[in-house]
Structure 1
C-alpha cells in the first residue's frame, strides 16, 4: 500500500480502528499506528502501552499482541493479498511526548522538559498527576557551574496549558564514576 501522505494517514487511521479491539483483548492500549515505505516494502509500526501504572509492557505481552495483530492483518482485505509488509510492534520509547494524563502518571517522579502555550520552556520533576493538571517542582539552572539548581515548590500546570512535554532522562554521573573505578580496580 503506497500513495500520498494523506492516503498513508487515512490508512493508519483505518488500521487504528481495525486493530484497536485486537490490542485491547490483551489488556493494552493502542497508542499509534504509522506506515512508512522502505524501498519497495511497506512497514507497519504499531505502538502499544499499558492503560495504567508505571510499569512498561513486557516482552511476553509484546510477543502475544504481535501474533494477534499479525493474524488480524492477514485477515484484512487490504493486506491479505498485498505485497509483503514488515510489522513492528513496540512500546513507547522514552522520547514519546506526554500527551495523555496516563502518560504523565507513568512518568511520576521523573524529570520532564515542557513548553507552555505562551512559549515558556521549563524543566522539573513530576510530583503528582490529576485528571486535569500535573504538579511539577520546577528546577532552575544554577547561576554558576558547581552550584545546585534552585527547585521551586511543586505547582499545578493544567494539561491544556502545556503545549509539549517529554521525559528528560537523568544520568547519574556519580554512579558512572563508581562503575569506572570498579572497572579500573578489576584491571589491576
Structure 2
C-alpha cells in the first residue's frame, strides 16, 4: 500500500476534527530522515487552546495508528504527527477564514497593488460570500468585497488599539454597512 495522500489523510481525520468543533485547514506531509512528519492544521471560530489541540492530537494519533494497523494506510517506517493552528500568515481564502478574523487588519493584493483594510461583517448566500472592509485612512469608509480564493487576504500583526471609528464600522451588520455605504456615496 502506498503512502496516503493529503486528501486521504484529510478525509480520514475530518470527522474527528469536526467532533471538536474545528475544521481541517491543511494537511502537509514531508520526510524527516527515514520517518515522515504529518502536519495537520486546524481552525475554529474560537481559537483552540493547547489542551484542545493536545486532546485532538492524541485522538488523531490513535486513529492513524489504527488505520495503519488495519492495513488501510501505510506511513512507512513511521511518522510524527503535528497538530497545530495555521498561523497568522495563513491566507484568508474561505468565508470562515474572514469571519474568524473580524476586526483584524488584513493586507489584500489586487491588480498589482497592496492595500490594508479592517475586516467587518460577512454575508454568505447563494454560494457567494462578501465581506465588509473598512479603510484605515483618516476618515474610515466602507467597501464590500467578494471573498474568493483568487483574492486572499493576509492578517497584519498590530500592536496598537483599533481606532474607535474603525471599530464602530466593523461592528455594523452586513446589511447596515451596505446601507451606510449607499448613503456615503
TM-score range, shorter chain: 0.7 to 0.9
User: Which has the greater radius of gyration?
Assistant: 1
The yes-or-no answer on 1:56 pairing with 2:47 is yes
Q: 1:180: which partner in 2?
A: none
Matches of 2:9 and 2:97, distance apart in 1: 22
Q: Does 1:27 align with 2:15?
A: no
- 1:150 corresponds in structure 2 to 138
Kept after mapping to 2: 8 A contact 1:109/1:127: yes
Please tell me whether the aligned partners of residues 130 and 145 of structure 2 are also in contact (alpha carbons under 8 angstroms): yes
Aligned to 2:132: 135
Are the aligned partners of 1:137 and 1:151 in contact in 2 as well (CA < 8 Å)?
A: no
How far, CA to CA, are the matches of 1:34 and 1:162 in structure 2? 21
Q: Give the alignment of 1:22-171 within 5 angstroms.
A: 22-50=16-44, 52=45, 55-76=46-67, 77=71, 78-79=73-74, 82-116=76-110, 118-131=111-124, 132-139=129-136, 149-160=137-148, 163-171=151-159
How far did residue 161 of structure 1 move?
8.4
CA distance in 2, matches of 1:27, 1:172: 31
Report if aligned partners of 1:46, 1:89 keep a CA contact under 8 Å in 2: yes
2:180 maps to none
Size of the aligned set, in residue pairs, is 153
Secondary structure in structure 1 of the residue aligned to 2:8: helix
Q: CA deviation at 1:162?
A: 5.6
Which aligned runs of 4 or more in structure 1 are off by greater than 3 angstroms?
149-152
**Cα-Cα RMSD:** 2.4
Taking structure 1 as reference, are residues 161 and 29 closer, same or farther at Cα in structure 2, changes over 3 Å only? closer
